[in-house]
A and B are shown apart, each in its own frame.
Chain A
Amino acid sequence: MALLEISNLTVDFATYTGSLRAVDGINLSVDEREILAIVGESGSGKSVAMLALMGLLPWTAKVSADSMLFDGQDLLSMNDKQRRKIIGKDISMIFQEPMTSLNPCFTVGYQITEVLSHHFGGSRRSYNNRAIELLHQVGIPAAETRLNAYPHQLSGGMCQRVMIAMMIACQPKLLIADEPTTALDVTIQAQILELLIELQQSHGMALILITHDMAVVAETAEQVIVLYAGQQVEQRSVKELFKSPQHPYSEALLNALPERAQGKLLNPIPGVVPGQMDRPKGCLFNPRCSYAQELCRQQPPELQDGILCHYPLVAPKPDLDVRTQ
Chain B
Amino acid sequence: MNHQLIKARDLHKYYAVKSGYLQPSKSLKALAGVSFDLYEGKTLAVVGESGCGKSTLARILTMIEEPTSGQLSIDGIDVAKTTEKSIKKQLRQTVQMVFQDPFGSLNPRQKIGNIIQEPLTINTNLSTNERHQKVLEMMELVGLRKEYFQRYPHMFSGGQRQRIAIARALILKPKVVVLDEPVSALDVSIQAQVINLLIELQQELGLAYIFISHDLNVVRHISDEVMVMYLGKPVEQGPSEAVFNTPQHPYTQALLSATPQAVVDGKRQRIKLTGELPSPIDPPSGCAFNPRCQYADKDCQIIEPVMELYGDSKVSCLAVAQQRIGQLKAS
Contacts and interface: CB of A to CB of B under 8 A. Distances in A.
A–B contact, 8 Å CB criterion (strictly below) = yes
Interface of A: 41-42, 155, 157-158, 185-191, 193-194, 212-219, 238-239, 242-243, 252-254, 256-261, 264-270, 272-273
A155 B262 contact: no
A242 B263 contact: yes
| Residue from B193, B200, B262, B264 with most neighbouring chain A CB atoms (10 Å) | B262
Nearest to A255: B192
A212 B255 contact: no
B254 to A, nearest CB: 6
B269 interface: no
Given A186-B258, A253-B189, 11 more contacts: A41-B187, A188-B276, A212-B187, A218-B261, A257-B262, A258-B195, A258-B220, A258-B222, A259-B217, A268-B195, A272-B160
A145 to B, nearest CB: 16
Interface string B264-281: 100100101100110000
Interface of B is mostly: helix
B199 interface: yes
Contacts of B196: 265-266, 268
B261 A185 contact: no
B234 interface: no
Contact of A219 (B159, B189, B260, B276): B260
Contacts of A186: 49, 214-216, 255, 258-259
A256 B191 CA distance: 8
A212 B199 contact: no
State the main secondary structure of chain A at its contact with B.
helix
Contacts of B217: 215, 257-259
A214 B192 CA distance: 14
Contacts of A265: 196, 199-200
Contacts of A190: 257-258, 260, 270, 272-273
Nearest to B184: A182
B189 to A, nearest CB: 4
B192 to A, nearest CB: 3
30 contacts: A41-B190, A157-B276, A185-B50, A186-B215, A186-B258, A188-B49, A189-B260, A190-B272, A215-B217, A215-B260, A217-B262, A218-B260, A218-B262, A219-B260, A219-B261, A242-B262, A242-B263, A243-B264, A253-B189, A256-B188, A256-B189, A258-B195, A258-B217, A258-B218, A258-B222, A259-B217, A259-B262, A261-B221, A273-B157, A273-B187
Contact of A268 (B160, B190, B262): B190
B159 to A, nearest CB: 7
A246 B160 CA distance: 29
B215 to A, nearest CB: 8
Contacts of A194: 270, 272
Contact of A239 (B190, B193, B264): B264
A187 B251 CA distance: 10
A266 B262 contact: no
Given A218-B264, A266-B196, A187 B258 contact: yes
A216 B255 CA distance: 15
Contacts of B188: 41, 212-214, 253, 256-257
A272 B193 CA distance: 10
A268 B218 CA distance: 13
Chain A to chain B: the 8 pairs with minimum beta-carbon distance, closest first: A268-B192, A215-B260, A269-B189, A258-B221, A190-B258, A185-B49, A41-B187, A266-B192
Contacts of B262: 214-215, 217-218, 242, 254, 257, 259-260
Interface residues of B, number: 41
A271 to B, nearest CB: 9
B276 A238 contact: no
B247 to A, nearest CB: 14
A256 B192 contact: yes
Contacts of B277: 155, 185
Contacts of B193: 268-270
B254 A187 contact: yes
A289 B193 CA distance: 15
Contacts of B191: 256, 268
A177 B155 CA distance: 30
Contacts of A260: 262
A288 to B, nearest CB: 8
A269 B264 CA distance: 23
Contact of A272 (B159, B199, B260): B159
Interface string B129-141: 0000000000000
Contacts of A41: 187-190
A33 to B, nearest CB: 18
Interface in B172-231: 187-193, 195-196, 199-200, 214-218, 220-222
A239 B262 CA distance: 11
Nearest to B195: A266
Q: Which of A187, A217, A239, A267 has the most CB of B within 10 A?
A: A187
A190 B193 CA distance: 27
A261 B218 CA distance: 11
A256 B217 CA distance: 12
Given A42-B187, A218-B263, A259-B261, A269 B214 contact: no
Nearest to A249: B189
Most buried by A among B191, B220, B258: B258
Interface in B154-169: 157-160
Contacts of A189: 258, 260
A265 B218 CA distance: 12
Nearest to B156: A272
Contacts of B189: 41, 252-253, 256, 268-269
A89 to B, nearest CB: 31
A252 B192 CA distance: 11
B224 to A, nearest CB: 11
B71 to A, nearest CB: 30
Contacts of B200: 265
Contacts of B216: 186
B264 A242 contact: yes
